[in-house]
């Protein structure tokens, strides 16, 4: 008898009662945990969020004062900034808070930002008790930044009777529609002096650098010298502009020159950083060097008579020369050590035999 095929679908197996009970219990536990999380969670959010809840204006002010008392100048300045935006302040209150922010930024050696906040303070309100402090603090900030021409114009503005004319804005030259003011020229002079002092900046303190800069700036007090600098600057500027019009930047030779200059500048900057880390010449160092080489610092007692007996220069008279010589000596030592270390790092091998003459007569 032929067997019949069964095309009916198999019946779905029923889950055991034990599995159903376990599943139900797990669902109940999950629901319970979710509910507990909702009711037990703090209404203010996470702990970190609670800590960052905004303070009142007075609390923010007290926080700023406390941070400043702990010498945390940057954080204290930020707290004063929060205070400034925390509520409605009178003009006087805003001016005082801006001054406090500037003072803290100055203590934190952020002199450019400090100047900005002193200006903001003056603009918010004129408070007689703060005027002299702001004047002194702005002067100090400009000096610390080495911005002596800017300081000069700042002082001129603050002592000028005519408030409508800003110092340094007088036009002294024009290149087409572009106007060059007194302050533009002084800025370029300072940039040139900074570049001139860059090689020695690594082993001099900021105070020494500023003294050197002031001494060089004194030369430009002569209008004729300043005029010569202006002529040279304008000459370079018009030549540069014409060179751009002639598309000289696209010239491969120009690119090679720029590459060579870039290598030289980067190499010198690295060397200056190394010198700054390794060399710290103090007044005592210079005095010691002067005493050890005292015989070298003499000059004829009578400059009109070279045969006159030599005069011993005092330390103050020979100080700059002694410092330069000591710095040069230390610079050579550090430079040699750095180059030897880098040659070893980059596995430099020089085949000296290639440069040895093979002809005995050439030796």
- Dump pLDDT digits (tens) for 131-160: 888 988 998 898 888 888 788 888 888 877
Please name the helix (run of DSSP H) or strand (run of DSSP E) that holds residue 132, with its range, or none: helix 128-145
d(CA 112, CA 142): 8
Contact (CB, 8 A) for 209 and 217: no
Out of 165-169, 233-237, 260-264, 335-339, which region has the weakest mean confidence (pLDDT)? 165-169
**Beta-sheet strands, E only, within 136-210:** 171-175, 178-181
Q: How far apart are CA 275 and CA 267, in angstroms?
A: 12
CA distances from 106 to 71, 144, 266 (A): 12, 10, 31
Check: pTM over 0.85? Answer yes or no. Answer: no
Tell me the sheet residues that pair with 174: 179
Long-range contacts of 157-166 (CB under 8 A, 24+ apart): none
Structural domains of the chain, with CATH: 54-145 (1.25.40.10), 166-244 (no CATH), 281-362 (no CATH)
Contact of 117 with 100, CB cutoff 8 Å = no
pLDDT of residue 94: 92
Q: What is the pLDDT of residues 165-185, one digit of tens each?
A: 677 888 999 988 888 999 899
Residue keyed to tokens 């009142």: 56
Rounded to whole angstroms, how far apart are CA atoms 282 and 259? 37
pLDDT, tens digit (0-9, with 9 covering 90-100), for 247-260: 898 899 999 999 99
Give the closest residue to 230 by CA, choosing from 186, 195, 170, 167. Answer: 186
Structure letter (DSSP) for residue 164: T
């Amino acid at each position: 008898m032929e067997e019949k095929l069964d095309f009916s679908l198999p019946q779905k197996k029923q889950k055991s009662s034990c599995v159903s009970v376990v599943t139900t219990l797990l669902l109940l536990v999950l629901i319970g945990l979710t509910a507990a999380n909702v009711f037990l969670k703090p209404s203010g959010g996470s702990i970190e969020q609670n800590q960052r809840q905004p303070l009142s204006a007075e609390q923010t002010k007290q926080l700023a004062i406390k941070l400043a008392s702990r010498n945390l100048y940057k954080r204290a300045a930020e707290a004063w900034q929060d205070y400034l935006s925390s509520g409605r302040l009178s003009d006087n209150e805003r001016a005082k808070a801006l001054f406090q922010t500037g003072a803290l930024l100055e203590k934190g050696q952020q002199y450019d930002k400090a100047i900005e906040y002193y200006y903001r303070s003056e603009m918010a309100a004129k408070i007689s008790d703060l005027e002299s402090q702001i004047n002194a603090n702005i002067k100090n900030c400009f000096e610390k930044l080495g911005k002596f021409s800017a300081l000069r114009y700042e002082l001129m503005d603050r002592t000028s009777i005519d408030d409508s004319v800003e110092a340094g804005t007088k036009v002294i030259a024009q290149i087409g529609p572009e106007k060059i003011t007194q302050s533009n020229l002084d800025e370029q002079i300072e940039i040139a002096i900074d570049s001139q002092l860059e090689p020695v900046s690594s082993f001099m303190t900021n105070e020494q650098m500023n003294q050197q800069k002031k001494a060089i700036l004194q030369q430009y007090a002569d209008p004729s010298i300043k005029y010569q600098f202006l002529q040279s600057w304008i000459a370079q500027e018009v030549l540069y502009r014409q060179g751009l019009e002639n598309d000289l930047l696209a010239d491969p030779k120009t690119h090679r020159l720029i590459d060579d200059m870039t290598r030289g500048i980067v190499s010198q900057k690295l060397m200056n950083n190394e010198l700054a880390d390794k060399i710290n010449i103090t007044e005592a160092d210079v005095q010691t060097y002067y005493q050890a080489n005292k015989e070298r610092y003499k000059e004829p007692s009578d400059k009109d008579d070279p045969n006159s007996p030599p005069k011993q220069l005092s330390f103050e008279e020979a100080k700059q020369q002694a410092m330069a010589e000591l710095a040069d000596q230390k610079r050579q030592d550090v430079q040699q050590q750095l180059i030897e270390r880098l040659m070893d790092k980059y596995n430099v091998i020089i085949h000296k035999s290639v440069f040895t003459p093979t002809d005995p007569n050439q030796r």
